[in-house]
Amino acid sequence: MFASSLLSSRQRSYDVFPSFSGHDVRRSFLSHLRCEFKRKGISTFVDDQITRSESIGHELVRAIRASRIGLVILTKNYASSSWCLDELLEIMEFRNDARKKVMTIFYD
């Protein structure tokens, strides 16, 4: 389910786009969640190969728009990341689309 190229010229769709602060959950909670999603056949966007910059890139915007669920994992450091807030803004843009959902997990 994971492509070597995160998003190729053809638009890829995902069931879930997780938005999270990497320092807080990447190697703990999120890794377990991704394993469970994979076991259940739920495709999840993975950003491991994306280089961080000051703003989210076109690949992330396309991935967010191509996902059915925006999963926002709120942690103590989430709001201090401009990257996370940009993702959140993009996710909230599609919340009025009946085919897309936004879910939130509060994780401490």
Residues designated as active site: 87
How far apart are alpha carbons 77 and 55 in whole angstroms?
17
Length of the chain: 108
Q: By three-state DSSP, how is residue 67 classified?
A: strand
How far apart are alpha carbons 47 and 108 in whole angstroms?
22
